[in-house]
Amino acid sequence: MLVIAEFMRSTLDYLRDLVAFDTRNGTGDEVACVAWLAEALSRFAPDQLIIKTVPRSRGKPDSAYVLAIWGAPKALLNVHIDTVPSGEGWTADPLELVEREDRVHGLGTSDIKGAAAAILGALGTATPRNVAVLLSGDEEAGSEVMPAIIRSGYLDGIERAVVCEPTSCRVGRAHRGMLAMHVRYTGPGGHSSLSDTVAAPLLSATQFCARLGDYRQDHLDFGVDPFKGLCVNIGEVTSDGAYNVIPTTASAKVSMRPPPGDHVAAREADMVAIARSASPDAEIDTIVAFAPFATRDISAFTGMFDEAVVDLPYWTEASMLSQAGINAIVYGPGNLEQAHRPDEYVALDQLYAAQARYAQVLGGALS
Ligand SMILES: [Zn+2]
């Protein structure tokens, strides 16, 4: 392990700097991190270095991306640079890289700054050929940066992509979509003696949730293992009422995860219809409506990626690249059990294995 640790020294130096950037989605400074990454990428003499700031909705600060291009790229390596919130329970500062034996701890090490560091480390040894590296923000909530990149046209000509997410260095080929909705019902409120005649927002919200529960039940056998069912989730129902007060507002936050091959727009239309069936004046805000993902042609990768091919339990932006016509897989160091939790870590041998694969991609193995 000492040999690996010495080989990986520059990668770990990159990872230390990356972890120190607070890029917690919605509160951190993703623009500053991207500026630092652009500077790091510029040292490897890309033919083009495109740096863009991207505005976000819902009051979030700007995010950004950097795209480095060598030659006429056919293949793309993509890593998101934002993280989830650190949460409670850390035994050290989440923004400080801590090396412990055969692993390194810190916020984002596993999801997925380790991959960004491994790519930078690999650039120190590989000669990039007809390849692009995209380091982008805003993946963990909202995903507003990737659509902006796709709209820009900078990825036109890219045929294959490796989207880096923690797969334990296995090849992720499919995952569910994600549809989340916030539904609000309102009324004048009042004393509960009026409740037989006054609008009942909380009753509407709970009817909506109950009918969505029926929809869930009706679709338990929909799809194919391991993606059976729609994963309908009633996440939150709130109101300002009391047992003797008719509420003026009630709101429900719900989601479902359509399986690969399913159509998220049709599910969204169903959810809207169910919300309106409870009350026609429901105020409906679709928080996200992300398509499911399945690799278009896995054989384009399996010659080089000889690791196990797996289905993934989480959504990734490979979905968006695939929708844009790019043949994509998901691959990266670390795994979900190590990420999104206190003392997040990535094992050094995983970083080492991923770096070797990224070096191949940079060298033109998919181009
Ligand atoms: Zn991730």
The CATH number of whichever domain residue 88 belongs to comes to: 3.40.630.10
Does any domain span residue 68? yes
Contacts of 210 (CB under 8 A, 6+ apart): none
> Whole-number mean pLDDT of the chain?
96
Residues 143, 320: contact at Cβ < 8 Å? yes
Q: How far apart are CA 361 and CA 367, in angstroms?
A: 8
7 shares its domain with 145: yes
Residues 142, 56: contact at Cβ < 8 Å? yes
pLDDT tops 90 at residue 174:
yes
Query: How many independent structural domains does the chain possess?
Result: 2
Ligand 1 centroid–CA 81 distance in Å is 8
Ligand 1 centroid–CA 164 distance in Å is 8
For 1-46, how does the pLDDT look when each residue is reduced to its tens digit (9 = 90+)? 455 556 688 999 999 999 999 999 999 999 999 999 999 999 999 9
The CATH number of whichever domain residue 182 belongs to comes to: 3.30.70.360
For 287-302, how does the pLDDT look when each residue is reduced to its tens digit (9 = 90+)? 999 999 999 999 999 8
Ligand 1 centroid–CA 166 distance in Å is 7
Ligand 1 centroid–CA 139 distance in Å is 7
pLDDT of 336:
87
SS3 (DSSP) at 84: coil
The candidate with the shortest Cα–Cα distance to 347, out of 114, 92, 121, is 114
Token code pair at residue 222: 């929909």
Does any domain span residue 367? no
Ligand 1 centroid–CA 332 distance in Å is 10
Ligand 1 centroid–CA 295 distance in Å is 18
Ligand 1 centroid–CA 183 distance in Å is 27
- Name the region of 283 (left: φ>0; alpha: ψ -120 to 50; beta: rest): beta
51 shares its domain with 144: yes
Give one DSSP letter per residue of 261-306, joined into a string: T--HHHHHHHHHHHHHHH-TT-EEEEEEEE--EE-S-THHHHTT--
Which secondary-structure segment (H or E) carries 187?
none
Residue type (1 letter), 31 = V
Residue type (1 letter), 200 = A
